[in-house]
Amino acid sequence: MDLIASTSILSQEESSELICAVCSQPARGRHFGAVACRACAAFFRRADAAKTTVKPCKKGGNCQNLLNNNGWFDCKFCRLQKCYEIGMNSANFQFDRDPISTKLTNVPNSMEGFLGRPHCVIFVDPEVVRCEKDLIDCTDLLRKAGRILKEGSESPLYTKSNLQKLAEALQKIDICHDSSPSQPVKLVTKYGKEEVFSFFEQDFLKATRWFTYFDEFQDLDQEQKLELIQAIWHVWSRLYKLSTSAIGKRRQICEDKMLMISHGSEYTVMDLTKIEFDFSWCTKYTNEQMQHFIDNTQNSFLYKLVDYMMDLKPSDVELSFMICQACFHYAGQRFHGKMLEICENFQQKLADELHEFYVDEWRMPNYSGRLSQLLRINNRIREDIWKCRKKQEIAEIFDVYSIQYSHPDIFKDI
């Protein structure tokens, strides 16, 4: 009997009231070639497979009809004989009884299909299948950052606290905020290697320059400062993009699904529904395949937080606290040990300064609700960073990228 015919007969039988020929209880179609309930079908499957272990009837085979009120036989031997009498046979097992529809949509790509390798190659030692990678030299970038850290802040600022000094430094390093003057706007239509490294370098050096206004940070030795900057610049960049995009949307410079960045003397706006992404310089996989590792779509968490940031509208002092809290919490968790202690001290000092700002400047002694709203954004950013790390670990295992960095710690969690 073919699949269509057997399915049709089964549907007809199940639609009518059937009685099990073994125990007289309601049945659900044919099992092993006879109309039977599922309980008797399950019994027959087990008993027929191990019939040599079924004990003979104590009454000489004369208890076939001795059923209890629930349809159960008192004797397994007689129940099995009844199954045989009505024609149940293990050879009549219906393999296609519950066919699965083949009309599937959006079938996820397998690891074999994504990587273009069969399983026998996927699980080979990566050293055997690894291809040669292009080297991205970051030495010059670190040299520029080291020079900025040695020279210190570009101009002295005199404020009551480090937090207020960092707030004033926002405008000096060209971060877009509500007090900055209007700037020309440039629409980016392509995002490839040149644009990627231009934004990377800008964000890295801006973060470096901004932290020179934090006195306690500048008191660290040069090696510690460079180590911290390499770890936290991308955290700084996430909040920076979020803040500038929220302000750009509030000013109606950019619309929904757009990302705005202050780039030098102009604003850079990217329409995520139209921009052309080019990842051919760093991988052999398509843009669609790379979306698992590099989420630049409008569905990314960053763009979902823009409206929340726009409504919250943090002051420069609050934004400075958010940036420092997110950066130093991340660095402490990443390095542990002495660096964790340093970062916790930074966070405590800035938290005390934020308390004084709320109480003395804003006359807001009950600021816990406001603070929880600020930290909610930081928590979302922290969650995204750890998701990114897991994705990058997978990418490293399967050699997704065709590049390597001279200083990989800089790009560990971007």
How does pLDDT run across 1-19, given as a tens digit for each residue?
A: 444 444 444 444 444 578 8
How many Cα atoms are found within 13 Å in the side-chain-facing hemisphere of 19?
A: 4
Q: Residue 346 corresponds to which amino acid? A: F
The answer, yes or no, to whether residue 100 has pLDDT greater than 70, is no
The token pair that represents 85 in the structure block: 């009498």
pLDDT for 82:
86
Read off the pLDDT band of 75 (50, 70, 90): confident
Return d(Cα 81, Cα 40) in angstroms, integer: 12
The answer, yes or no, to whether residue 95 has pLDDT greater than 70, is no
pLDDT for 9:
45
Read off the pLDDT band of 147 (50, 70, 90): very high
Read off the pLDDT band of 265 (50, 70, 90): low
Read off the pLDDT band of 68 (50, 70, 90): low
pLDDT for 62:
65
pLDDT for 388:
85
Average pLDDT, the chain: 81
pLDDT for 259:
67
Q: What is the mean pLDDT of residues 38-67?
A: 74
pLDDT for 120:
58
pLDDT for 181:
47
The token pair that represents 88 in the structure block: 């149940």
What number of other Cβ atoms are within 10 A of residue 33's Cβ? Answer: 15
Helix/strand/coil (H/E/C) assignment for every residue in 343-367: HHHHHHHHHHHHHHHHHHHCCCCCC
The answer, yes or no, to whether residue 168 has pLDDT greater than 70, is yes
CA distances for 207 relative to 147, 246, 325, angstroms: 14, 19, 14
Q: What percent of the chain has pLDDT over 70?
A: 75
Q: For 307-329, how does the pLDDT look when each residue is reduced to its tens digit (9 = 90+)? A: 889 889 999 999 999 999 999 99
pLDDT for 302:
65
Q: For 103-144, how does the pLDDT look when each residue is reduced to its tens digit (9 = 90+)? A: 445 656 666 666 666 655 555 555 544 567 899 999 999 999
Which of the two residues, 41 and 147, has the higher pLDDT score? Answer: 147
Characterize 288-314 residue by residue with b for buried, 16 or more Cβ atoms within 10 angstroms of its Cβ, and e for exposed.
Answer: ebbbebbbbeeeeebbebbeebbebeb
pLDDT for 17:
72
Domains (ranges, CATH) in the chain?
A: 29-92 (3.30.50.10), 134-410 (1.10.565.10)
The answer, yes or no, to whether residue 264 has pLDDT greater than 60, is no
Q: Are residues 131 and 399 in contact, defined by beta-carbon separation less than 8 angstroms?
A: yes
The token pair that represents 396 in the structure block: 């490293």
pLDDT for 316:
93
- Helix, strand, coil percentages for the chain (3-state, nearest 5): 55, 10, 35
pLDDT for 296:
65
Q: For 324-346, how does the pLDDT look when each residue is reduced to its tens digit (9 = 90+)? A: 999 999 999 999 889 999 999 99
Please state which of the ranges 1-5, 16-20, 60-64, 190-194 shows the lowest mean pLDDT. 1-5
Q: What is the mean pLDDT of residues 379-398?
A: 87
